Amino acid sequence: MTDFGIKETLDILGVKDVNDGTSTGQHNFSNGEVIESYSPVDGKLIGKVKTTTKEDYDKVMKTASAAFVSWRSKPAPLRGEIVRQFGEKLREKKEALGKLVSYEMGKSYQEGLGEVQEMIDICDFAVGLSRQLHGLTMHSERPGHRMYEQYHPLGIVGIISAFNFPVAVWAWNTALAWVCGDVCVWKPSEKTPLCGIACQNIAAEVFAKNDLPEGISCLINGNYKVGEFMTKDTQIPLVSATGSTRMGKIVAKEVAGRLGKTLLELGGNNAIIVTPDADIKMTVIGAVFGAVGTAGQRCTSTRRLIIHESVYDKVKEAIVKAYKQLRIGNPLDENNHVGPLIDKDAVNMYVNALERVVEEGGKIVVHGGVLYGDGYESGCYVKPAIAEAKNSFEIVQHETFAPVLYLLKYAGDVNNALKIQNGVAQGLSSAIMTNNLREAEAFLSVAGSDCGIANVNIGTSGAEIGGAFGGEKETGGGRESGSDAWKVYMRRQTNTINYTADLPLAQGIKFDL
């Protein structure tokens, strides 16, 4: 654990209470209303940020457009070198940035460090990718012709991120977009604006050191109205938005209306199937971390535990016993497992969910509640709760962004469990706990999990940089991070070259003059 305080943390990251919230790199400015960032850890004011006005936004777009003309012309490996330097700078400031993430968002310090490590990892991935932005060569049906396809940068990429991963998701998008030759305009969550300013400061330092134009990385701040500047702007061909399904539907409709592209990472209602052949110890570890990690505020958090009736009581007993060992408190104290929810609105949503599940006929197994008193002054700390329920309950059908785990029972074979798992509107992450090869393969088959992520013998929470991250159905269908997710940040072009003195037409068409 770092031994410097929050004030020193902000100093290391260059975050000062100067009311700036808009940045094009070297220049910081804002003329809008003030956002006050309070920590859910102790309820204290961390700093103030001014929001971006329409006039501020127009200035950002002008600078970003000019930067794109220069940046897209740099060789991709050179762009990769800049991203490498950015990753190195993140390594230098990992402890400070991890601490700010923990304090402003409320996740544990170890999770804050882990989030910054994800940023570093995607930089490493992007550096290698900068030498692998490949197309395809295809055989032409016409003699003396060569046909191939290539990828070009899109232009300005708009990024809207959520509070629960205030820095990593931006980096997932930005590192790939940069090596692809795009420039980025980022609107972080208004609940974690200081994390955004810290990241922008680090990026600006790298670009200035290399005498690159400002505007390659831009920051805007504010609520959904500021986000609408981007969704309505035809200068932005791609908007990558992370958040609720409700938000994603609004963004998708607006951007589609101008025939733009969206990359959506929305809600999850993730389940772990526990079969009779499951390793109970592994199940408990995966389920508990999945349900209570980040206080249940991950899009991949485990919401439902679908347990076979033959092992239901045994698994239930083990999970309840594990919950008794959880320590709730200041996330900067590494002895604690669970920190606070982001704010009072999240607490109210948590309380409402527990009331609703009982109203619908469920039974509370591990009682929750809001914590008050010494160490809980912010009013954002709650007890992780468990309820027995049915998948058909309306509250179970919706994502509750809090540490509430629903136990669901199934009978028969794994196909019955899959019907329950897939019987929700969301399709992000899923898992099965089994030592039965047939069950595992059925879960991964075309008739198995309908989610974008399907894991065997690990939980739903957490993802590696190398794999594409995203989900189906109301999760939005987007893919970020690894694999070939880079292609969404580029435009595809097919090229045909005739190196003869004749001009034969395709499909054997004759057109003689």
Count of CB atoms situated within 10 Å of the CB of 55? 11
In whole angstroms, give the CA distance from residue 250 to residue 297.
22
Question: CB neighbours of 46 closer than 8 A, spacing ≥ 6?
Answer: 6, 10, 37, 38, 39, 103, 104, 194
In whole angstroms, give the CA distance from residue 253 to residue 476.
12
Name the pairing type of β-strands 261-265 and 426-427: unpaired
- Cα distances from 478 to residues 7, 83, 427, in angstroms, run 38, 23, 11
- Cα distances from 55 to residues 29, 32, 190, 378, in angstroms, run 11, 10, 19, 36
Q: What is the largest CA-CA distance in the chain?
A: 90
Is 18 within 8 Å of 30 (Cβ atoms)?
no
The amino acid sitting at 55 is E
- Residue 157's Cα: distance from chain center in Å? 16
CA-based nearest residue to 463, from 301, 261, 273: 301
In whole angstroms, give the CA distance from residue 199 to residue 430.
31
In whole angstroms, give the CA distance from residue 211 to residue 128.
23
The two three-digit tokens of residue 507, written as one number: 């499909």
113 φ/ψ sector (left φ>0, alpha ψ -120 to 50, else beta): alpha
Is 194 within 8 Å of 19 (Cβ atoms)?
no
Is 287 within 8 Å of 405 (Cβ atoms)?
yes
Residue 379, helix vs strand vs coil: coil
Name the pairing type of β-strands 480-481 and 468-469: antiparallel
In whole angstroms, give the CA distance from residue 374 to residue 388.
31
In whole angstroms, give the CA distance from residue 138 to residue 141.
10
The two three-digit tokens of residue 108, written as one number: 């544990």
The amino acid sitting at 196 is G
Is 60 within 8 Å of 229 (Cβ atoms)?
no
The two three-digit tokens of residue 318, written as one number: 């083990």
In whole angstroms, give the CA distance from residue 285 to residue 36.
37
Query: Which residues are known catalytic residues?
Result: 265, 299
Burial (CB count within 10 angstroms: exposed 0-12, middle 13-18, buried 19+), residue 313: exposed
